[in-house]
A and B are shown apart, each in its own frame.
Chain A
Amino acid sequence: DAGITQSPRHKVTETGTPVTLRCHQTENHRYMYWYRQDPGHGLRLIHYSYGVKDTDKGEVSDGYSVSRSKTEDFLLTLESATSSQTSVYFCAISVGAGDTQYFGPGTRLTVL
């Protein structure tokens, strides 16, 4: 398995609180991605990064922000969590945009 870790693995929080999820890679891949997975919707891209400080929006970016200050770390922040953001969040990495993506173990977030 690719060297990808996500933290925390599980989190329960309350509506209106800020939440930050971390993705860490040891592969030195240029591209990093954040997805959310929900029943009936499959995987949906939230944001992605193509280098340090270079990010772009995905399909469902509203309510989320990201930062990448180092190659190995990609942070996803929910500024004010809502119940609709209850989901499983996956980080992925790839060498290039069109290349194979390797996925982290996921973070299960519950917003009460």
Chain B
Amino acid sequence: AQSVSQHNHHVILSEAASLELGCNYSYGGTVNLFWYVQYPGQHLQLLLKYFSGDPLVKGIKGFEAEFIKSKFSFNLRKPSVQWSDTAEYFCAVNAPGNTPLVFGKGTRLSVIA
């Protein structure tokens, strides 16, 4: 069975600090990978996705993620966070075919001034 691990449950950063959130998955085949963001009181929105091609994926709001197949990882990065990035971040993975996404438990990011 697939699983997705997000090891950081809560990250607290000061504004302008760099961000890296970890995501590891257990599936060994070809996968589609996603990062979603959920701002307080809102629904999940897509930040970025990887299906194939360049393993460095750029998303909205200055976020990027790097797919490292050998490490089964898809870490999310942002060079300089803002207070408005305070949210919960979810990694998700899906094996192509008729398999629904499997979500990690999420990482809560708090950005303080």
Contact = CB atoms under 8 A, between A and B. Distances in A.
Interface of A: 31, 33, 40-43, 45, 48, 50, 58, 90, 92, 97-106
Contact of A90 (B32, B43, B98, B99): B43
Nearest to B31: A98
22 contacts: A31-B100, A40-B105, A42-B90, A42-B103, A42-B104, A43-B44, A43-B103, A45-B100, A50-B98, A90-B43, A97-B98, A97-B99, A98-B32, A98-B95, A98-B96, A99-B32, A101-B34, A101-B101, A102-B46, A103-B44, A104-B43, A105-B42
Given A42-B103, A42-B104, 6 more contacts: A58-B100, A99-B32, A100-B34, A101-B101, A103-B45, A105-B42
Nearest to B6: A42
Interface string B69-113: 000000000000000000000101011111111011110000000
B78 to A, nearest CB: 20
How many chain B residues sit at the interface, stated as a range, is 20 to 34
A70 to B, nearest CB: 21
Contact of A98 (B44, B94, B103, B104): B94
B46 A100 contact: yes
6 shortest A-B CB distances, which residue pairs?
Answer: A42-B105, A103-B43, A43-B103, A103-B44, A97-B98, A98-B96
Q: Is the interface of B mostly helix, strand, loop or mixed?
A: loop
Contacts of B104: 42
B67 to A, nearest CB: 15
B94 A90 contact: no
Contacts of A97: 94, 97-100
Given A41-B105, A42-B90, A42-B103, A98 B43 contact: no
Interface in B34-52: 34, 42-46, 49
Given A42-B90, A42-B104, A43-B90, A98 B46 contact: no
Contacts of A90: 43-44
Nearest to B108: A39
Contacts of A31: 100
